[in-house]
């Protein structure tokens, strides 16, 4: 699903943690012109993946991220012994201009990723949360975006703002978990906005995670753009609407990097990908196809319409296991991720044992 959007002023995230970066991925580089020195696609021998990274610039803040991730890995490798999961979350954008006014986006709000990250943390994992900047975040998701305005949780008493008694117990639970994640340095949040930023960051983080061998887990819930405008063809300035009265966008396919992740970036890690479809008759076939194509360990299939109440695990031996919430569970506010994550962790434990 693709939506063409214009830039809007994002709300300031209410989430601040010591690991919050001091750069923003959603701001375009105002000084960039179309760069004709970027080599065009080289011919033959060079794989699509190499071609992509040879012809697209790395984000300038990438060394900062690499440093943060290395420190995070060192901390958990030497001090806590925790397994580390990379959770990807939210949709990527495809800018149509270098000074970006318009971009292609998709529906993902980051609910799956942010919710899953919380359950990984609760189950003793350290989490690198690679997410679309300004999408939902673990813990703050309960009170952010339009559905749950944080002000509704407040009340005024004696000229002071307080948490309304009705919500205090529930909020205390969330607050304690959030503080626990912070004090144990178990959550590292890393943002992306564009598909290029996502791909570069995924590659860098994956290569660093390889140091953890089988104790690294990838849980790829992000909705990554399948098509993009290569940097050699992206215009510098806002596309003018008067010019032809029409906008014809000629996009190219984003190389499928999953196989590269499995074979070369983090070959000892366990890799879980997601498959999203809107037609239930092709979901299982597509999930099995992904396992064959990328040779990884687990695909979690979901349908756009029902993704919050049912998912299917598809494994390399061809098994399918549906996980569904009952109506009662849905009413009680049970989150499907509370059932998904323990299953994924079980599989990861087996993976670690097999690789000892």
- Binding footprint of ligand PMT on the chain (CB under 6 A): 88, 108-112, 220-224, 226, 254, 257-258, 273-276, 302, 307
Give me the least distance between CB of 168 and ligand PMT, in Å please.
Answer: 28
Nearer to ligand PMT, 14 or 306 (CB): 306
The two structure tokens encoding residue 121 = 């943390």
> Is 94:228 a contact under the CB 8 Å cutoff?
yes
* Phi, psi angles (nearest 5°) of residue 316: -65, -30
Buried b / exposed e over 294-303, threshold 16 CB at 10 Å, is bebbbbbbbb
Q: Apex CA 236: angle with CA 232 and CA 239, to 5°?
A: 110
Give me the least distance between CB of 296 and ligand PMT, in Å please.
Answer: 9
Region at 344 (left for phi over 0; alpha for psi -120 to 50; beta for the rest): alpha
Nearer to ligand PMT, 94 or 222 (CB): 222
Nearer to ligand PMT, 78 or 146 (CB): 146
Nearer to ligand PMT, 112 or 288 (CB): 112
Nearer to ligand PMT, 11 or 81 (CB): 11
> Is 87:141 a contact under the CB 8 Å cutoff?
no
Give me the least distance between CB of 251 and ligand PMT, in Å please.
Answer: 14
Distance between CA atoms of residues 84 and 107, nearest Å: 28
Q: What is the 3-state secondary structure (H, E, C) of 238-258?
A: CCCCCCCCCCCCCCEECCCCH
Give me the least distance between CB of 128 and ligand PMT, in Å please.
Answer: 14
Distance between CA atoms of residues 152 and 142, nearest Å: 12
Q: Of 176, 202, 174, 177, which Cα lies nearest the Cα of 190?
A: 202
Nearer to ligand PMT, 102 or 131 (CB): 131
Q: Of 187, 195, 201, 183, which Cα lies nearest the Cα of 140?
A: 187
Nearer to ligand PMT, 66 or 277 (CB): 277
Give me the least distance between CB of 256 and ligand PMT, in Å please.
Answer: 6
Give me the least distance between CB of 175 and ligand PMT, in Å please.
Answer: 23
Nearer to ligand PMT, 190 or 223 (CB): 223
Give me the least distance between CB of 49 and ligand PMT, in Å please.
Answer: 10
Owner of token pair 């609760």: 122
Give me the least distance between CB of 46 and ligand PMT, in Å please.
Answer: 18
Q: What is the 3-state secondary structure (H, E, C) of 111-140?
A: HHHHHHHHHHHHCCCEEEEEEECCCCCCCH
What three-state secondary structure class fits 92? Answer: coil
> Is 297:270 a contact under the CB 8 Å cutoff?
yes
């Amino acid at each position: 699903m693709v939506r063409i959007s214009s830039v809007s002023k994002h709300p300031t995230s209410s989430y601040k943690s010591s690991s919050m970066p001091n750069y923003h991925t959603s701001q375009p580089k105002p000084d960039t012109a179309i760069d004709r020195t970027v080599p065009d696609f080289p011919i033959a021998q060079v794989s699509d993946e190499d071609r992509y990274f040879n012809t697209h610039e790395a984000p300038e803040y990438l060394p900062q991220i690499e440093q943060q991730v290395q420190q995070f890995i060192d901390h958990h490798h030497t001090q806590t012994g925790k397994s580390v999961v990379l959770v990807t979350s939210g949709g990527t954008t495809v800018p149509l201009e270098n000074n970006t006014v318009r971009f292609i986006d998709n529906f993902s709000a980051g609910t799956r990723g942010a919710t899953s990250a919380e359950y990984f943390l609760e189950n003793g994992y350290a989490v690198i949360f690679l997410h679309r900047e300004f999408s939902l975040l673990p813990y703050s998701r309960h009170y952010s975006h339009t559905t749950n305005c944080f002000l509704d949780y407040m009340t005024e008493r004696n000229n002071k703002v307080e948490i309304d008694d009705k919500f205090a117990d529930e909020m205390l639970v969330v607050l304690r978990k959030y503080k626990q994640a912070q004090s144990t340095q178990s959550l590292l949040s890393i943002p992306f906005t564009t598909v290029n930023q996502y791909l570069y960051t995924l590659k860098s983080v994956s290569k660093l995670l390889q140091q953890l061998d089988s104790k690294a887990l990838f849980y790829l819930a992000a909705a990554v753009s399948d098509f993009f405008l290569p940097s050699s063809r992206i215009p510098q300035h806002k596309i003018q609407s008067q010019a032809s009265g029409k906008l014809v966008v000629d996009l190219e396919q984003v190389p499928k990097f999953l196989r590269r992740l499995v074979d070369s970036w983090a070959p000892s890690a366990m890799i879980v990908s997601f498959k999203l479809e809107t037609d239930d008759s092709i979901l299982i076939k597509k999930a099995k196809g992904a396992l064959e194509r990328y040779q990884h360990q687990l695909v979690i299939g979901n349908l756009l319409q029902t993704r919050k109440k049912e998912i299917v695990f598809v494994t390399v031996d061809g098994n399918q296991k549906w996980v569904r919430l009952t109506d009662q569970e849905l009413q009680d506010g049970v989150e499907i991720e509370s059932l998904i994550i323990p299953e994924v962790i079980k599989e990861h434990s087996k993976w670690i044992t097999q690789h000892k």
